[in-house]
Structure 1
Amino acid sequence: MTLDDLRVFVAVCEAENLSAVARDMSCSQSAVSQHVKRLEKETGLVLLERRPRGVAATGAGRILYQAAAEGLGGLGTALRRMDDMRRGVGGTVRIATGATTVRHFMAQGVAAFRTRHPEVSLAFETAASSRRCLEAVQTRQADLAWVTIGPSLDGVEQRPSYEMPWVLAVRSDDPLSYRESITLDQLAGISHIELPQHSTSRVHLESRLQHHGVRLVSTASVADWDTALLLAELGLGHAVLPALPGWSYGPGSIVRLVPIPDLPPLAAGWAVRRWDALSPLAIEFAETVLEHLPAR
Protein backbone atom coordinates (compact mmCIF):
# COMPACT_ATOMS: atom_id res chain seq x y z
CA MET A 1 0.00 0.00 0.00
CA THR A 2 1.61 3.23 -1.16
CA LEU A 3 0.61 6.87 -1.06
CA ASP A 4 0.09 6.75 -4.81
CA ASP A 5 -2.28 3.80 -4.39
CA LEU A 6 -4.29 5.72 -1.81
CA ARG A 7 -4.32 8.95 -3.83
CA VAL A 8 -5.63 7.13 -6.90
CA PHE A 9 -8.21 5.23 -4.87
CA VAL A 10 -9.52 8.44 -3.27
CA ALA A 11 -9.75 10.07 -6.70
CA VAL A 12 -11.70 7.08 -8.08
CA CYS A 13 -14.14 7.09 -5.17
CA GLU A 14 -14.82 10.79 -5.68
CA ALA A 15 -15.09 10.64 -9.49
CA GLU A 16 -16.79 7.21 -9.55
CA ASN A 17 -15.17 6.68 -12.92
CA LEU A 18 -11.86 5.00 -13.77
CA SER A 19 -11.43 6.58 -17.18
CA ALA A 20 -12.04 10.11 -15.82
CA VAL A 21 -9.30 9.61 -13.21
CA ALA A 22 -6.97 8.22 -15.88
CA ARG A 23 -7.49 11.36 -18.00
CA ASP A 24 -6.88 13.67 -15.01
CA MET A 25 -3.68 11.83 -14.10
CA SER A 26 -2.48 11.45 -17.69
CA CYS A 27 -2.20 7.69 -17.44
CA SER A 28 -4.05 4.63 -18.74
CA GLN A 29 -7.23 3.22 -17.24
CA SER A 30 -5.31 -0.02 -16.72
CA ALA A 31 -2.76 1.81 -14.54
CA VAL A 32 -5.57 3.21 -12.40
CA SER A 33 -7.06 -0.26 -12.04
CA GLN A 34 -3.69 -1.66 -10.90
CA HIS A 35 -3.57 0.78 -7.97
CA VAL A 36 -7.01 -0.36 -6.84
CA LYS A 37 -6.16 -4.04 -7.30
CA ARG A 38 -3.06 -3.69 -5.12
CA LEU A 39 -5.20 -2.26 -2.33
CA GLU A 40 -7.77 -5.03 -2.69
CA LYS A 41 -5.04 -7.67 -2.61
CA GLU A 42 -3.51 -6.18 0.55
CA THR A 43 -6.83 -5.73 2.38
CA GLY A 44 -8.33 -8.99 1.12
CA LEU A 45 -11.60 -7.17 0.38
CA VAL A 46 -13.44 -5.85 -2.66
CA LEU A 47 -13.22 -2.07 -2.51
CA LEU A 48 -15.07 -1.07 -5.71
CA GLU A 49 -18.09 -2.47 -7.46
CA ARG A 50 -18.75 -1.88 -11.14
CA ARG A 51 -21.93 -0.16 -12.24
CA PRO A 52 -23.40 0.53 -15.70
CA ARG A 53 -21.89 3.99 -15.73
CA GLY A 54 -18.78 3.76 -13.60
CA VAL A 55 -17.85 2.37 -10.18
CA ALA A 56 -18.83 2.90 -6.54
CA ALA A 57 -17.11 2.13 -3.26
CA THR A 58 -18.27 -0.94 -1.37
CA GLY A 59 -18.77 -0.86 2.39
CA ALA A 60 -15.10 -1.70 2.92
CA GLY A 61 -14.15 0.80 0.23
CA ARG A 62 -16.02 3.61 2.00
CA ILE A 63 -14.15 2.88 5.24
CA LEU A 64 -10.80 3.03 3.45
CA TYR A 65 -11.85 6.11 1.48
CA GLN A 66 -12.77 8.10 4.59
CA ALA A 67 -9.54 7.22 6.37
CA ALA A 68 -7.39 7.82 3.29
CA ALA A 69 -9.07 11.13 2.42
CA GLU A 70 -8.56 12.45 5.95
CA GLY A 71 -4.97 11.23 6.08
CA LEU A 72 -4.05 12.63 2.67
CA GLY A 73 -5.74 15.92 3.51
CA GLY A 74 -3.74 16.22 6.74
CA LEU A 75 -0.56 15.23 4.96
CA GLY A 76 -1.16 17.83 2.27
CA THR A 77 -1.70 20.52 4.89
CA ALA A 78 1.48 19.49 6.70
CA LEU A 79 3.51 19.54 3.50
CA ARG A 80 2.20 23.01 2.62
CA ARG A 81 3.06 24.30 6.09
CA MET A 82 6.52 22.79 5.85
CA ASP A 83 7.03 24.41 2.45
CA ASP A 84 5.92 27.74 3.94
CA MET A 85 8.44 27.27 6.75
CA ARG A 86 11.17 26.43 4.25
CA ARG A 87 10.40 29.58 2.27
CA GLY A 88 9.93 31.64 5.43
CA VAL A 89 6.35 32.69 4.68
CA GLY A 90 4.44 31.03 7.52
CA GLY A 91 4.52 28.60 10.40
CA THR A 92 5.00 28.74 14.15
CA VAL A 93 8.10 29.20 16.29
CA ARG A 94 7.65 27.95 19.88
CA ILE A 95 9.87 29.56 22.51
CA ALA A 96 10.20 28.63 26.19
CA THR A 97 11.28 31.57 28.37
CA GLY A 98 11.65 32.65 31.95
CA ALA A 99 9.51 35.38 33.48
CA THR A 100 11.88 38.25 32.60
CA THR A 101 13.42 36.91 29.40
CA VAL A 102 11.31 38.60 26.73
CA ARG A 103 11.52 42.01 28.38
CA HIS A 104 15.27 42.03 28.92
CA PHE A 105 16.72 39.89 26.15
CA MET A 106 14.22 39.59 23.31
CA ALA A 107 12.15 42.75 22.96
CA GLN A 108 14.09 44.30 20.07
CA GLY A 109 14.69 40.96 18.35
CA VAL A 110 11.03 39.97 18.53
CA ALA A 111 9.98 43.30 17.05
CA ALA A 112 12.51 42.99 14.21
CA PHE A 113 11.45 39.42 13.44
CA ARG A 114 7.77 40.36 13.46
CA THR A 115 8.46 43.15 10.96
CA ARG A 116 10.10 40.65 8.60
CA HIS A 117 7.55 37.87 9.12
CA PRO A 118 4.17 39.27 10.17
CA GLU A 119 2.42 36.02 9.20
CA VAL A 120 4.55 33.78 11.46
CA SER A 121 3.06 32.78 14.81
CA LEU A 122 5.33 33.19 17.84
CA ALA A 123 4.22 30.96 20.73
CA PHE A 124 5.86 31.88 24.05
CA GLU A 125 5.68 29.41 26.92
CA THR A 126 6.66 30.91 30.28
CA ALA A 127 8.48 28.52 32.59
CA ALA A 128 9.46 29.01 36.23
CA SER A 129 13.13 28.14 35.75
CA SER A 130 15.80 27.38 33.17
CA ARG A 131 15.40 23.69 33.94
CA ARG A 132 11.70 23.88 33.05
CA CYS A 133 12.65 25.60 29.81
CA LEU A 134 15.13 22.82 29.05
CA GLU A 135 12.44 20.23 29.76
CA ALA A 136 10.10 21.99 27.33
CA VAL A 137 12.76 21.65 24.62
CA GLN A 138 13.57 18.05 25.57
CA THR A 139 9.89 17.02 25.33
CA ARG A 140 9.42 18.98 22.08
CA GLN A 141 6.94 21.43 23.61
CA ALA A 142 9.27 24.21 22.45
CA ASP A 143 11.65 24.62 19.52
CA LEU A 144 13.93 27.01 21.41
CA ALA A 145 14.49 28.08 25.00
CA TRP A 146 16.38 31.07 26.36
CA VAL A 147 18.09 29.85 29.52
CA THR A 148 20.72 30.65 32.09
CA ILE A 149 23.56 28.36 31.02
CA GLY A 150 24.05 25.52 33.47
CA PRO A 151 23.57 21.76 33.79
CA SER A 152 21.84 20.42 30.69
CA LEU A 153 19.46 17.54 30.00
CA ASP A 154 19.98 14.56 27.71
CA GLY A 155 19.45 15.47 24.09
CA VAL A 156 19.56 19.26 24.63
CA GLU A 157 22.30 21.61 23.44
CA GLN A 158 23.08 24.98 25.06
CA ARG A 159 24.92 27.87 23.41
CA PRO A 160 26.21 30.68 25.67
CA SER A 161 25.49 34.00 23.98
CA TYR A 162 25.46 36.74 26.61
CA GLU A 163 27.49 37.30 29.79
CA MET A 164 25.99 38.99 32.83
CA PRO A 165 28.36 40.30 35.51
CA TRP A 166 27.18 40.06 39.11
CA VAL A 167 26.19 43.22 40.98
CA LEU A 168 24.89 44.19 44.38
CA ALA A 169 21.62 46.12 44.05
CA VAL A 170 21.41 48.56 46.95
CA ARG A 171 19.58 51.81 47.70
CA SER A 172 21.59 54.94 47.09
CA ASP A 173 21.28 55.93 50.77
CA ASP A 174 22.92 52.68 51.93
CA PRO A 175 26.61 52.90 52.99
CA LEU A 176 27.49 50.14 50.49
CA SER A 177 26.23 52.25 47.58
CA TYR A 178 29.35 54.43 47.70
CA ARG A 179 31.71 51.59 46.87
CA GLU A 180 33.19 51.25 43.40
CA SER A 181 33.05 47.47 43.83
CA ILE A 182 32.48 44.97 46.60
CA THR A 183 34.29 41.78 47.62
CA LEU A 184 32.66 38.51 48.61
CA ASP A 185 33.77 38.93 52.22
CA GLN A 186 31.99 42.28 52.34
CA LEU A 187 28.72 40.59 51.39
CA ALA A 188 28.61 38.67 54.68
CA GLY A 189 26.72 41.38 56.52
CA ILE A 190 24.04 42.23 53.97
CA SER A 191 20.29 41.65 54.36
CA HIS A 192 20.10 39.20 51.49
CA ILE A 193 17.12 38.93 49.12
CA GLU A 194 17.19 35.31 47.98
CA LEU A 195 17.01 34.44 44.31
CA PRO A 196 14.40 31.91 43.08
CA GLN A 197 14.85 28.53 44.74
CA HIS A 198 16.62 25.89 42.60
CA SER A 199 17.27 28.48 39.87
CA THR A 200 20.54 28.20 37.96
CA SER A 201 21.56 31.69 39.10
CA ARG A 202 21.00 30.84 42.77
CA VAL A 203 22.92 27.56 42.50
CA HIS A 204 25.76 29.41 40.77
CA LEU A 205 25.85 32.11 43.45
CA GLU A 206 25.61 29.79 46.45
CA SER A 207 28.35 27.56 45.05
CA ARG A 208 30.79 30.47 44.74
CA LEU A 209 29.93 31.89 48.15
CA GLN A 210 30.32 28.49 49.80
CA HIS A 211 33.71 28.08 48.13
CA HIS A 212 34.80 31.36 49.77
CA GLY A 213 33.22 30.48 53.11
CA VAL A 214 30.63 33.26 52.89
CA ARG A 215 27.15 32.68 54.29
CA LEU A 216 24.38 35.20 53.65
CA VAL A 217 21.51 35.96 56.00
CA SER A 218 18.27 36.21 54.04
CA THR A 219 15.45 38.64 54.82
CA ALA A 220 13.24 38.00 51.76
CA SER A 221 12.86 35.68 48.79
CA VAL A 222 11.54 36.30 45.29
CA ALA A 223 10.39 34.44 42.18
CA ASP A 224 12.37 36.49 39.62
CA TRP A 225 15.24 38.94 39.25
CA ASP A 226 13.08 42.01 38.59
CA THR A 227 11.23 41.54 41.88
CA ALA A 228 14.54 41.25 43.73
CA LEU A 229 15.63 44.57 42.21
CA LEU A 230 12.34 46.19 43.20
CA LEU A 231 12.65 45.01 46.82
CA ALA A 232 16.17 46.45 46.95
CA GLU A 233 14.80 49.73 45.58
CA LEU A 234 12.18 49.74 48.36
CA GLY A 235 14.89 49.29 50.97
CA LEU A 236 13.79 45.78 51.99
CA GLY A 237 17.25 44.30 51.59
CA HIS A 238 20.23 43.84 49.29
CA ALA A 239 20.03 41.81 46.09
CA VAL A 240 22.99 39.98 44.55
CA LEU A 241 21.99 39.73 40.89
CA PRO A 242 23.28 39.19 37.38
CA ALA A 243 23.17 42.56 35.63
CA LEU A 244 20.42 42.23 33.04
CA PRO A 245 20.32 44.22 29.80
CA GLY A 246 18.09 47.24 30.24
CA TRP A 247 19.06 47.88 33.86
CA SER A 248 20.69 51.32 34.02
CA TYR A 249 20.94 52.82 37.47
CA GLY A 250 23.43 55.65 37.34
CA PRO A 251 23.92 58.87 39.33
CA GLY A 252 20.67 60.22 40.77
CA SER A 253 18.95 56.81 40.80
CA ILE A 254 17.29 55.34 43.87
CA VAL A 255 19.25 52.11 43.36
CA ARG A 256 22.92 51.57 42.60
CA LEU A 257 24.36 48.44 41.05
CA VAL A 258 27.74 47.82 42.65
CA PRO A 259 30.00 45.39 40.72
CA ILE A 260 31.14 42.14 42.39
CA PRO A 261 34.26 41.27 40.37
CA ASP A 262 35.05 38.14 42.45
CA LEU A 263 31.98 36.37 41.02
CA PRO A 264 32.43 34.93 37.50
CA PRO A 265 29.81 36.26 35.06
CA LEU A 266 26.63 34.30 34.53
CA ALA A 267 25.97 33.25 30.93
CA ALA A 268 22.66 33.08 29.09
CA GLY A 269 21.84 31.70 25.66
CA TRP A 270 19.75 29.40 23.49
CA ALA A 271 18.95 25.77 24.18
CA VAL A 272 17.65 23.43 21.46
CA ARG A 273 17.48 19.72 20.76
CA ARG A 274 19.53 19.96 17.55
CA TRP A 275 20.46 23.13 15.71
CA ASP A 276 20.58 21.35 12.36
CA ALA A 277 17.01 20.08 12.89
CA LEU A 278 15.49 23.51 13.53
CA SER A 279 13.22 25.02 10.90
CA PRO A 280 14.67 27.95 8.92
CA LEU A 281 12.22 30.25 10.72
CA ALA A 282 13.33 29.10 14.17
CA ILE A 283 16.98 29.58 13.20
CA GLU A 284 16.26 33.06 11.87
CA PHE A 285 14.34 33.96 15.03
CA ALA A 286 17.23 32.81 17.25
CA GLU A 287 19.78 34.73 15.16
CA THR A 288 17.61 37.86 15.08
CA VAL A 289 17.36 37.90 18.87
CA LEU A 290 21.15 37.60 19.17
CA GLU A 291 21.68 40.38 16.64
CA HIS A 292 19.49 42.73 18.67
CA LEU A 293 20.71 41.92 22.18
CA PRO A 294 21.15 45.20 24.06
CA ALA A 295 24.69 46.23 24.95
CA ARG A 296 25.56 45.88 28.62
Structure 2
Amino acid sequence: MLNPQRLRVLQAVIAAGSLQAAARSLHYSPATVSQHMAELARETGLKLFVRRGRGLEATPAALQLAEQAEDALAALDRLARSAEDMRRGHSQQLTLASFSSAAKEWLPHVVAAVRQDSPEVIVEISLNETPAGRAPRPADLDVRQESLEAPQEHIDGYLRYSLGVEEFDVALPAGHRLENVEKVAVHELSEELWIDHDIFDTPATRIIRSACRAAGFAPNVVARLDDHYAALSLVEAGVGVTVLTRLALQDAPPNVSIRPLHRPQVQRRVVAHVRQDRGSSRPVAVALETLQHLAAEAGLRPES
Protein backbone atom coordinates (compact mmCIF):
# COMPACT_ATOMS: atom_id res chain seq x y z
CA MET A 1 0.00 0.00 0.00
CA LEU A 2 1.27 3.47 -0.87
CA ASN A 3 2.34 5.75 1.95
CA PRO A 4 -0.19 8.64 2.13
CA GLN A 5 2.36 11.07 3.52
CA ARG A 6 4.66 10.51 0.55
CA LEU A 7 1.74 11.23 -1.78
CA ARG A 8 1.16 14.50 0.07
CA VAL A 9 4.84 15.37 -0.31
CA LEU A 10 4.61 14.59 -4.04
CA GLN A 11 1.67 16.99 -4.36
CA ALA A 12 3.63 19.65 -2.44
CA VAL A 13 6.68 19.27 -4.71
CA ILE A 14 4.54 19.57 -7.85
CA ALA A 15 2.64 22.57 -6.47
CA ALA A 16 5.80 24.34 -5.25
CA GLY A 17 7.87 23.57 -8.35
CA SER A 18 10.98 22.28 -6.60
CA LEU A 19 12.18 20.09 -3.75
CA GLN A 20 13.58 23.10 -1.91
CA ALA A 21 10.36 25.12 -2.14
CA ALA A 22 8.29 22.12 -1.04
CA ALA A 23 10.66 21.56 1.90
CA ARG A 24 10.09 25.15 3.03
CA SER A 25 6.30 24.88 2.80
CA LEU A 26 6.27 21.53 4.61
CA HIS A 27 8.87 22.59 7.19
CA TYR A 28 11.04 19.62 6.18
CA SER A 29 14.67 19.53 5.15
CA PRO A 30 15.33 19.16 1.40
CA ALA A 31 17.01 15.83 2.19
CA THR A 32 13.81 14.53 3.84
CA VAL A 33 11.69 15.57 0.85
CA SER A 34 14.18 13.93 -1.52
CA GLN A 35 14.09 10.74 0.54
CA HIS A 36 10.28 10.65 0.48
CA MET A 37 10.30 11.00 -3.32
CA ALA A 38 12.91 8.28 -3.72
CA GLU A 39 10.85 5.92 -1.54
CA LEU A 40 7.65 6.76 -3.46
CA ALA A 41 9.41 6.05 -6.76
CA ARG A 42 10.54 2.70 -5.35
CA GLU A 43 7.04 1.85 -4.05
CA THR A 44 5.33 2.67 -7.34
CA GLY A 45 8.06 1.60 -9.77
CA LEU A 46 7.56 4.93 -11.55
CA LYS A 47 9.99 7.62 -12.64
CA LEU A 48 8.58 10.70 -10.93
CA PHE A 49 11.01 13.48 -11.90
CA VAL A 50 13.50 14.28 -14.67
CA ARG A 51 16.31 16.83 -14.69
CA ARG A 52 15.61 20.10 -16.49
CA GLY A 53 18.57 22.45 -16.30
CA ARG A 54 19.41 22.86 -12.63
CA GLY A 55 15.95 21.79 -11.48
CA LEU A 56 13.52 18.88 -11.60
CA GLU A 57 10.39 18.47 -13.68
CA ALA A 58 7.52 16.15 -12.75
CA THR A 59 6.89 13.37 -15.25
CA PRO A 60 3.40 12.72 -16.68
CA ALA A 61 3.25 9.67 -14.39
CA ALA A 62 3.94 11.85 -11.33
CA LEU A 63 1.29 14.36 -12.37
CA GLN A 64 -1.27 11.61 -12.89
CA LEU A 65 -0.39 9.94 -9.59
CA ALA A 66 -0.75 13.23 -7.69
CA GLU A 67 -4.10 13.94 -9.36
CA GLN A 68 -5.51 10.48 -8.68
CA ALA A 69 -4.31 10.63 -5.07
CA GLU A 70 -6.50 13.70 -4.43
CA ASP A 71 -9.73 11.83 -3.68
CA ALA A 72 -8.01 9.15 -1.60
CA LEU A 73 -6.19 11.71 0.54
CA ALA A 74 -9.36 13.75 0.96
CA ALA A 75 -11.15 10.58 2.13
CA LEU A 76 -8.37 9.92 4.64
CA ASP A 77 -8.68 13.49 5.91
CA ARG A 78 -12.42 13.01 6.37
CA LEU A 79 -11.81 9.75 8.20
CA ALA A 80 -9.34 11.46 10.52
CA ARG A 81 -11.84 14.25 11.22
CA SER A 82 -14.57 11.71 11.89
CA ALA A 83 -12.35 9.84 14.32
CA GLU A 84 -11.55 13.12 16.09
CA ASP A 85 -15.26 14.01 16.25
CA MET A 86 -16.07 10.61 17.74
CA ARG A 87 -13.24 10.98 20.25
CA ARG A 88 -14.80 14.26 21.37
CA GLY A 89 -18.25 12.71 21.55
CA HIS A 90 -19.58 14.32 18.32
CA SER A 91 -20.62 11.25 16.38
CA GLN A 92 -23.43 12.82 14.29
CA GLN A 93 -22.75 14.79 11.12
CA LEU A 94 -24.98 16.75 8.77
CA THR A 95 -23.73 17.58 5.28
CA LEU A 96 -25.42 20.42 3.40
CA ALA A 97 -24.88 21.61 -0.16
CA SER A 98 -26.34 24.81 -1.61
CA PHE A 99 -25.97 27.58 -4.16
CA SER A 100 -24.25 30.68 -2.79
CA SER A 101 -27.17 33.04 -2.07
CA ALA A 102 -29.07 30.39 -0.12
CA ALA A 103 -25.85 29.49 1.71
CA LYS A 104 -25.45 33.13 2.72
CA GLU A 105 -29.05 33.96 3.63
CA TRP A 106 -30.56 30.66 4.80
CA LEU A 107 -27.94 28.19 5.94
CA PRO A 108 -26.77 30.16 9.01
CA HIS A 109 -30.33 29.91 10.34
CA VAL A 110 -30.51 26.23 9.37
CA VAL A 111 -27.27 25.43 11.21
CA ALA A 112 -28.38 27.40 14.28
CA ALA A 113 -31.71 25.52 14.40
CA VAL A 114 -30.05 22.12 13.96
CA ARG A 115 -27.42 22.84 16.60
CA GLN A 116 -30.04 24.10 19.04
CA ASP A 117 -32.04 20.90 18.59
CA SER A 118 -29.02 18.54 18.44
CA PRO A 119 -25.93 20.17 20.01
CA GLU A 120 -23.75 17.16 19.26
CA VAL A 121 -24.07 17.52 15.47
CA ILE A 122 -21.15 18.65 13.30
CA VAL A 123 -22.35 20.47 10.15
CA GLU A 124 -20.43 20.58 6.86
CA ILE A 125 -21.48 22.98 4.08
CA SER A 126 -20.30 23.12 0.47
CA LEU A 127 -21.36 25.07 -2.63
CA ASN A 128 -22.85 23.06 -5.47
CA GLU A 129 -23.16 25.60 -8.30
CA THR A 130 -19.69 25.42 -9.89
CA PRO A 131 -17.82 22.49 -11.45
CA ALA A 132 -15.24 22.76 -8.64
CA GLY A 133 -17.94 22.89 -6.00
CA ARG A 134 -17.87 19.25 -4.94
CA ALA A 135 -19.20 18.20 -1.56
CA PRO A 136 -16.67 16.42 0.68
CA ARG A 137 -19.24 13.60 1.06
CA PRO A 138 -22.70 13.03 -0.47
CA ALA A 139 -24.96 15.77 0.85
CA ASP A 140 -27.70 14.82 3.29
CA LEU A 141 -29.64 17.85 2.07
CA ASP A 142 -28.88 19.55 -1.24
CA VAL A 143 -30.52 22.92 -2.10
CA ARG A 144 -30.65 23.56 -5.85
CA GLN A 145 -32.15 25.97 -8.35
CA GLU A 146 -33.96 25.02 -11.56
CA SER A 147 -35.46 26.70 -14.58
CA LEU A 148 -39.25 26.55 -14.76
CA GLU A 149 -38.85 25.71 -18.45
CA ALA A 150 -36.68 22.64 -17.74
CA PRO A 151 -37.93 19.25 -16.54
CA GLN A 152 -37.88 18.79 -12.79
CA GLU A 153 -34.62 17.27 -11.60
CA HIS A 154 -34.76 14.00 -9.68
CA ILE A 155 -31.58 12.63 -8.10
CA ASP A 156 -31.16 8.92 -7.51
CA GLY A 157 -31.37 8.11 -3.81
CA TYR A 158 -32.92 11.48 -2.89
CA LEU A 159 -36.42 12.74 -2.10
CA ARG A 160 -37.40 16.03 -3.73
CA TYR A 161 -39.09 18.93 -1.88
CA SER A 162 -40.04 22.12 -3.71
CA LEU A 163 -39.30 25.24 -1.65
CA GLY A 164 -41.10 27.54 -4.09
CA VAL A 165 -40.62 29.92 -7.00
CA GLU A 166 -38.49 33.06 -6.70
CA GLU A 167 -38.35 36.19 -8.86
CA PHE A 168 -35.31 37.83 -10.48
CA ASP A 169 -34.88 41.63 -10.35
CA VAL A 170 -32.57 44.01 -12.17
CA ALA A 171 -29.93 46.02 -10.29
CA LEU A 172 -29.31 49.49 -11.75
CA PRO A 173 -26.57 52.06 -11.03
CA ALA A 174 -27.60 55.23 -9.23
CA GLY A 175 -29.11 57.79 -11.61
CA HIS A 176 -29.97 55.19 -14.26
CA ARG A 177 -32.65 56.17 -16.80
CA LEU A 178 -34.92 53.34 -15.54
CA GLU A 179 -34.51 54.19 -11.88
CA ASN A 180 -37.91 55.91 -11.64
CA VAL A 181 -40.04 53.23 -13.30
CA GLU A 182 -42.04 50.80 -11.16
CA LYS A 183 -41.22 47.69 -13.23
CA VAL A 184 -38.66 47.13 -15.98
CA ALA A 185 -39.64 45.20 -19.10
CA VAL A 186 -36.80 42.88 -20.08
CA HIS A 187 -36.60 44.35 -23.62
CA GLU A 188 -35.78 47.76 -22.06
CA LEU A 189 -32.38 46.32 -21.09
CA SER A 190 -31.44 45.40 -24.67
CA GLU A 191 -29.14 48.40 -25.12
CA GLU A 192 -27.57 48.21 -21.66
CA LEU A 193 -24.10 47.01 -20.74
CA TRP A 194 -24.50 43.80 -18.75
CA ILE A 195 -22.52 42.37 -15.86
CA ASP A 196 -22.75 38.58 -15.84
CA HIS A 197 -22.44 37.28 -12.26
CA ASP A 198 -21.79 33.71 -13.38
CA ILE A 199 -18.88 32.40 -15.46
CA PHE A 200 -20.34 28.89 -15.38
CA ASP A 201 -23.46 27.67 -17.15
CA THR A 202 -25.64 27.39 -14.06
CA PRO A 203 -29.45 27.31 -14.12
CA ALA A 204 -29.55 31.03 -13.18
CA THR A 205 -27.51 31.93 -16.27
CA ARG A 206 -29.74 29.84 -18.51
CA ILE A 207 -32.89 31.37 -17.03
CA ILE A 208 -31.65 34.93 -17.66
CA ARG A 209 -30.44 34.08 -21.16
CA SER A 210 -33.82 32.53 -22.00
CA ALA A 211 -35.68 35.64 -20.80
CA CYS A 212 -33.50 37.86 -22.97
CA ARG A 213 -34.11 35.62 -25.99
CA ALA A 214 -37.85 35.85 -25.35
CA ALA A 215 -37.48 39.65 -25.33
CA GLY A 216 -35.64 39.53 -28.66
CA PHE A 217 -31.99 40.21 -27.81
CA ALA A 218 -28.77 38.78 -26.45
CA PRO A 219 -27.17 40.67 -23.51
CA ASN A 220 -24.15 42.85 -24.28
CA VAL A 221 -21.89 41.45 -21.53
CA VAL A 222 -18.93 43.67 -20.61
CA ALA A 223 -17.83 41.87 -17.42
CA ARG A 224 -18.16 38.28 -16.30
CA LEU A 225 -17.39 36.95 -12.82
CA ASP A 226 -18.48 34.19 -10.47
CA ASP A 227 -19.62 36.19 -7.44
CA HIS A 228 -22.84 38.17 -7.21
CA TYR A 229 -21.43 40.52 -4.54
CA ALA A 230 -18.66 41.50 -6.95
CA ALA A 231 -21.27 41.95 -9.68
CA LEU A 232 -23.20 44.36 -7.48
CA SER A 233 -19.98 46.28 -6.78
CA LEU A 234 -19.55 46.75 -10.53
CA VAL A 235 -23.14 47.98 -10.79
CA GLU A 236 -22.46 50.40 -7.95
CA ALA A 237 -19.43 51.68 -9.88
CA GLY A 238 -21.64 52.40 -12.90
CA VAL A 239 -20.16 49.71 -15.16
CA GLY A 240 -23.53 48.25 -16.14
CA VAL A 241 -26.63 46.41 -14.93
CA THR A 242 -27.06 42.89 -13.61
CA VAL A 243 -30.01 40.57 -13.05
CA LEU A 244 -30.13 38.60 -9.80
CA THR A 245 -32.63 36.74 -7.66
CA ARG A 246 -34.22 38.58 -4.76
CA LEU A 247 -32.39 36.30 -2.35
CA ALA A 248 -29.06 37.40 -3.83
CA LEU A 249 -30.10 41.08 -3.60
CA GLN A 250 -30.62 41.10 0.18
CA ASP A 251 -27.30 42.89 0.71
CA ALA A 252 -27.35 45.17 -2.33
CA PRO A 253 -25.52 48.49 -1.78
CA PRO A 254 -27.94 51.28 -0.79
CA ASN A 255 -27.17 53.37 -3.89
CA VAL A 256 -28.00 50.51 -6.28
CA SER A 257 -31.62 50.60 -7.45
CA ILE A 258 -33.52 47.31 -7.53
CA ARG A 259 -36.52 46.99 -9.87
CA PRO A 260 -38.82 44.02 -10.61
CA LEU A 261 -38.73 42.56 -14.12
CA HIS A 262 -41.71 41.73 -16.30
CA ARG A 263 -42.58 40.88 -19.89
CA PRO A 264 -41.45 38.19 -19.31
CA GLN A 265 -41.23 37.51 -15.61
CA VAL A 266 -37.87 35.97 -14.77
CA GLN A 267 -38.17 33.19 -12.18
CA ARG A 268 -36.46 30.14 -10.78
CA ARG A 269 -37.61 27.09 -8.85
CA VAL A 270 -35.79 26.33 -5.58
CA VAL A 271 -35.70 22.69 -4.50
CA ALA A 272 -34.32 20.72 -1.55
CA HIS A 273 -33.13 17.17 -2.24
CA VAL A 274 -32.95 14.95 0.86
CA ARG A 275 -31.03 11.68 0.95
CA GLN A 276 -33.53 8.86 1.38
CA ASP A 277 -31.41 7.01 3.93
CA ARG A 278 -31.02 10.19 6.02
CA GLY A 279 -34.47 11.74 5.68
CA SER A 280 -35.76 10.31 8.96
CA SER A 281 -32.84 11.60 11.04
CA ARG A 282 -33.66 14.44 13.40
CA PRO A 283 -30.98 16.92 12.13
CA VAL A 284 -32.10 16.49 8.51
CA ALA A 285 -35.76 16.89 9.45
CA VAL A 286 -35.02 20.09 11.38
CA ALA A 287 -32.89 21.43 8.51
CA LEU A 288 -35.65 20.80 5.95
CA GLU A 289 -38.36 22.29 8.16
CA THR A 290 -36.22 25.40 8.74
CA LEU A 291 -35.56 25.78 5.01
CA GLN A 292 -39.26 25.53 4.21
CA HIS A 293 -40.02 28.22 6.79
CA LEU A 294 -37.24 30.50 5.47
CA ALA A 295 -38.37 30.09 1.86
CA ALA A 296 -41.93 31.08 2.79
CA GLU A 297 -40.62 34.01 4.85
CA ALA A 298 -38.53 35.17 1.85
CA GLY A 299 -41.66 35.33 -0.30
CA LEU A 300 -41.12 32.28 -2.47
CA ARG A 301 -44.53 31.29 -3.76
CA PRO A 302 -45.74 27.71 -4.16
CA GLU A 303 -45.40 26.40 -7.70
CA SER A 304 -48.72 26.37 -9.52
Written as runs of structure 1 = structure 2, the 5 A alignment for 1:109-258 is 109-129=110-130, 141-150=138-147, 152=153, 154-155=155-156, 156-196=158-198, 197-244=200-247, 247=250, 253-258=254-259
109 and 153 in structure 1: CA distance in 2 versus 1, 3 angstrom threshold:
closer
Q: Check conservation: 2:94, 2:283, Cα contact below 8 A.
A: yes
Q: Check conservation: 1:245, 1:295, Cα contact below 8 A.
A: no
TM-score by length of 1: 0.60
Q: Which residue type is aligned with residue 268 of structure 1?
A: V
Deviates most, 175-184 or 145-154: 145-154
Displacement, 1:277?
Answer: 4.6
Q: Check conservation: 2:170, 2:241, Cα contact below 8 A.
A: yes
Displacement, 1:101?
Answer: 2.5
1:272 aligns with 2:277: no
Counterpart CA distance in 2 for 1:277 and 1:115 is: 19
Displacement, 1:278?
Answer: 4.8
Counterpart CA distance in 2 for 1:248 and 1:125 is: 21
292 and 90 in structure 1: CA distance in 2 versus 1, 3 angstrom threshold:
farther
Q: Which residue type is aligned with residue 206 of structure 1?
A: R
94 and 240 in structure 1: CA distance in 2 versus 1, 3 angstrom threshold:
same
Q: Partner of 2:74 in structure 1?
A: none
Q: What SS does the aligned partner of 1:254 have?
A: coil
228 and 160 in structure 1: CA distance in 2 versus 1, 3 angstrom threshold:
farther
Displacement, 1:219?
Answer: 0.9
Counterpart CA distance in 2 for 1:291 and 1:90 is: 28
164 and 225 in structure 1: CA distance in 2 versus 1, 3 angstrom threshold:
farther
Detail structure 1 runs of 4+ shifted over 6 Å in the superposition: none
Deviates most, 177-186 or 278-287: 278-287
158 and 132 in structure 1: CA distance in 2 versus 1, 3 angstrom threshold:
farther
Counterpart CA distance in 2 for 1:203 and 1:257 is: 21
Structure with greater helix share of residues: 1
The share of aligned pairs that are identical, in percent, is 19
Please, which runs of 5 or more residues in structure 2 have no aligned partner?
Answer: 1-85, 300-304
TM-score by length of 2: 0.59
Please, which runs of 5 or more residues in structure 1 have no aligned partner?
Answer: 1-80
RMSD: 3.2
Q: Partner of 1:96 in structure 2?
A: 97
111 and 200 in structure 1: CA distance in 2 versus 1, 3 angstrom threshold:
same
Q: Which of the pair has more CA radius of gyration?
A: 1
Q: Check conservation: 2:170, 2:261, Cα contact below 8 A.
A: yes
